[in-house]
A = this chain, B = another copy of it.
Amino acid sequence: MGATKQDVGSALARRLGAQLELTPAEMDALDTLEARPRVILRGRAIDGSGQPGFYVLRSGWAASGISLADGRRQIACIHLPGDLLGMLDHTRGAGVDVLSALTDVEVGTIDRGALARLFEAHPRLGALLLLQAHRERLSLNDRLAAVGRTDAKARLAGLILDLASRQRALDPSLGATMPMPLTQEEIGDALGLTAVHVNRMMRQLAEAGLIARGTGASITLCQEDRLAELSGFVDRANAIETDWLPAPRG
């Protein structure tokens, strides 16, 4: 699960461009935003600098979340390429949000100040970043509802469907089998479960024929409809309300 080849262009531009037709000037602005790509090995922290920073995930998977006093942690969000990272540390000082690499990852850095210039020069992109932020909030809402109100099996099924949907959005050629690089402990950290219990639920899903576990870090969704029914999963990958945005520039 190393960093894959995505070395050209801006991952952020690709992400935003998938939702909205960007003007050439907007694309240029996003391209120059993303600088100094850096590779971080699996399991390492992204940005241990102590200073808040903005990053764009260019390849690989990352997790953001909180570490508790007793050493346990809660993963709030599993990030795939194109996600903007590090924003939380800008709301309350560094260290609030713990970013770690779930696979080997490549991140681009966004200079302090460059983002401010983006807001000034391209109001529409600023508003789009706001939308993007609230979209992450929405997916946190979904996660919270799953953790607070559904049992372990449903949570696991929901996570699998969520990751499947998001990976397919990035790579439409994906079929029923897809990468699943998380350890069971990491899955537990995301779902508020122990690794032991994740293991049991995974076995149950496999025994029921809903999923099949590949040998490598992969998984196959055998009966998506039943997974969806089990988890109450609703795919959010549909229309976005963009008609309130400012007019583009350039």
Contact = CB atoms under 8 A, between A and B. Distances in A.
A73 to B, nearest CB: 8
6 contacts: A68-B145, A87-B137, A88-B141, A91-B240, A112-B243, A136-B137
Interface string A60-76: 00000110110011101
B127 A127 contact: no
B147 A90 contact: no
Contacts of A126: 119, 123, 126-127, 130
A71 to B, nearest CB: 11
A46 to B, nearest CB: 16
A238 to B, nearest CB: 7
A245 to B, nearest CB: 6
A129 B127 CA distance: 9
A192 interface: yes
A50 interface: no
